[in-house]
Amino acid sequence: MDDAHITPYIILIYAQRIVYGRKFEHLGNLGISSLAAYLEDKGFRARAFTGITTDAADIFESEFQKTPVSVAGFYCDYDNQSCVEEMSRYFKNKYGVKIIVGGPQTINLGEDFMKSSRCDFMVRGDGEAALLELMEYISFGRGDIEKIKGLVYIDESGALKLNEPREVPDAINSYPLPSSSFELGNRKKYNISVISARGCPFRCAFCYEGGNTKKLRLRSIEKVIDEIRRGLHENPDAKYVWFVDDTFTLNYPRTREFCAALSRLRKERHFVWFCEGHAALLSKNPDLVEMMVDAGMARMQVGMESGCGESLESYRKQTTPEEIEKVVRICRRAGLGQLAGNFIMGGVSETPETLERTAAFVEGLHDAAPGMIDISTTFIMPLPNTAISKCPRDFGITILDPGSLTTTEDFPVNETDGLTRFEISMAARKFLSRSAARMSKLYKNGAVPREYVRRHFELSHKYGLSSTWYRFLYSRDPVVKQYYEMMILSRGVHSDGIAPEIIESYYPCRTFDIAPSCGYFKTRPVMDESKFIGLERELAVLCDGKTRLGAVMAAIRQRHRETPGAAENARRILKEMEEKHLVIFLP
């Protein structure tokens, strides 16, 4: 084929070095997916890939052998900068293609990075228009490179050129919808990520959005719903929609309209969804949480950051510990399944005393809503243009590793006036251990409602939403795990939920197999028969899931007709076995 008739081909890549869990690739990168859709709509061939570096290299090689690839584009964030630098250099040396680097970190990169990475161009800000103009220039020689706004490059004389910044675009509602057909790789998608707005009006001192994209731009609800509908159609296994907006709940009337639209869409195809909320806004509009839960919200994240009011004020969070606690109680009353809260370790003027106050605050949140809150931690990251990265000393912070070369977000890059980085790292471990200890105590004391445990199993098995409570408490007990899996998968119920007049028609079923020793058979727990004596042993055998409760009790009465009160004792023992998750009732 004549080269003039070959459609220019760009592969957009978000790559990370292999890390434990590899969660980022399962969520994908909505930014490069949106760019691929935009370029495809303009007549270019564009594909997107999210994954680890080795997979990215293999995918590119495979595509390069099938179809000439003229451009490689890399999404560069704070935590993958060194990865992008090396991959850019590798692709340039091996394939000789043009290299474009975009993403939030580019506003902090300059000549040294460009020369080291051998990239040809960097795009700063929203990438759609700039990338289109640049592809036109690279592919067909159209346009003037000096007039492409937001572009950074090194000219023929070796000088770094910074073109005029590009205005923040308002017309994001006109952009074409992303499609899974533009994504490379063979992974099944179990969730759909979508954004309903760009930008953020808040000015949090540690956040990239707060320091850079200040203008909030909203997409139409109809457009977002169409995108979700397409994503669900293209990915039949997906049952979870992830709103990546920083402020999904910012506009009350709009959120209310969204809930109504999502409820209508869920009648076409069942799914649950996640969003982020702001504590100050939610505390003033408690009915909004109930509205969102009714519309299918199964998990929400609220930026908590600290249990100290003065720290939240320094972070410019525009909320208070009291508002955060109020939101926790609101979410509990609304029946929200999971509420995620993140806390910064080693942040503004952090000391042992502020850490203690925050840890005690988290324990109080667990006490207020046992079984609901997922706690996580993070360290300060000097993201470009944030207040903390510009003036860390104003926050009692010293940045020791501005390039993040000694961490994969698992180790702090800073110290405070009161803590070394090693003390911050140890404090994070102690903080999470203390949170876990309170969770375990609440669960063992029966403070977590049975319905919440069941809900967490359901969210994990049906939607892939495995909470901290599920991973580190519920699922680690094989009998409890079997009990709730039977509840989810076999419609098992607790006897408290059965009307007395029909309970004898239900089938009591043991959640374990009986054998001469303890262990597992396949995935089912096996209990040593010697652990059961008397009536308990008889009930363990009779509760086989095939015999109605009425027949079980008739058998006990027949066997012990000479023993007064045998049937009553059997019912009491059966109830005790049920509370130990050894028996469940099947309809």
**Which residues have C-beta within 8 Å of that of residue 549, sequence separation ≥ 6?**
503, 504, 505, 506, 507, 508, 585
Helices (H), 189-251: 208-211, 221-234
CA distance 316 to 356: 21
Let me know: does 567 contact 553? Beta carbons within 8 Å.
yes
**Which residues have C-beta within 8 Å of that of residue 6, sequence separation ≥ 6?**
68
Q: Look up residue 426 and give its two tokens.
A: 């140890």
pLDDT in tens, the chain (587 residues): 344 468 999 999 999 887 655 454 456 799 999 999 999 999 999 999 999 999 999 999 999 999 999 999 999 998 899 999 999 999 999 999 999 999 999 999 999 999 999 999 999 999 999 999 999 999 999 999 999 999 999 999 999 999 999 998 888 999 999 999 999 987 778 899 999 999 888 889 999 876 676 688 999 999 999 999 999 999 999 999 999 988 799 999 999 999 999 999 999 999 999 999 999 999 999 999 999 999 999 999 999 999 999 999 999 999 999 999 999 999 999 999 999 999 999 999 999 999 999 999 999 999 999 999 999 999 999 888 899 999 999 999 999 998 887 877 789 999 999 999 999 999 999 999 999 999 999 999 999 999 999 999 999 999 999 999 999 999 999 999 999 999 999 899 999 999 999 999 999 999 988 775 455 445 567 776 667 888 999 999 999 999 999 999 999 999 999 889 999 999 999 999 999 999 999 99
**165 phi and psi angles, rounded to 5 deg:** -60, 150
CA distance 365 to 384: 32
The pLDDT of residue 213: 66
Let me know: does 32 contact 11? Beta carbons within 8 Å.
no
CA distance 126 to 104: 9
Task: Show me where the domains of the chain are located.
Answer: 3-162, 188-468, 477-586
Other residues' Cβ atoms within 10 Å of the Cβ of residue 401 = 14
Can you name the residues that pair with 98 across neighbouring β-strands? 71
* CA-based end-to-end distance of the chain: 66
The pLDDT of residue 190: 85
The pLDDT of residue 170: 85
The pLDDT of residue 2: 42
- Residue 397, SS3? strand
For 477-492, the DSSP string reads: SHHHHHHHHHHHHS--
Let me know: does 525 contact 479? Beta carbons within 8 Å.
yes
What would you report as the CA-atom Rg of the chain, rounded to the nearest whole angstrom?
Answer: 28
Let me know: does 348 contact 311? Beta carbons within 8 Å.
yes
CATH of 3-162, one of 3.50.50.60, 3.40.140.10, 3.40.50.280, 3.60.10.10: 3.40.50.280
The pLDDT of residue 259: 97
CA distance 256 to 441: 38
**Cα 585 versus chain centre, distance:** 34
**Distances from the Cα of 176 to the Cα of 125, 149, 219, angstroms:** 19, 22, 12
Q: What is the pLDDT of residues 289-331, one digit of tens each?
A: 999 999 999 999 999 999 999 999 999 999 999 999 999 999 9
Q: Look up residue 478 and give its two tokens.
A: 């094989």
CA distance 30 to 69: 22
The pLDDT of residue 562: 86
For 398-435, the DSSP string reads: EES-TT-TT-SSSS-SEEESS--HHHHHHHHHHHHHHH
| Model confidence pTM above 0.75 | yes
**Which residues have C-beta within 8 Å of that of residue 453, sequence separation ≥ 6?**
371, 469, 474, 480, 484
143: left (phi over 0), alpha (psi -120 to 50) or beta: left
Q: Look up residue 213 and give its two tokens.
A: 């994209």
Let me know: does 538 contact 496? Beta carbons within 8 Å.
no
Q: What is the dihedral of CA 200, 206, 208, 210, to 10 degrees?
A: 20
Q: In terms of Cα–Cα distance, which of 282, 242, 237 is closest to 262?
A: 242
The pLDDT of residue 5: 61
| Superfamily (CATH) of domain 188-468 | tm_1862 like domain (3.80.30.20)
Q: What is the pLDDT of residues 8-54, one digit of tens each?
A: 999 999 998 876 554 544 567 999 999 999 999 999 999 999 999 99
The pLDDT of residue 189: 83
**Which residues have C-beta within 8 Å of that of residue 126, sequence separation ≥ 6?**
150, 166, 168, 169, 172, 198
Q: What is the pLDDT of residues 342-360, one digit of tens each?
A: 999 999 999 999 999 999 9
Domain 3-162 and domain 188-468, same fold? Reply is no
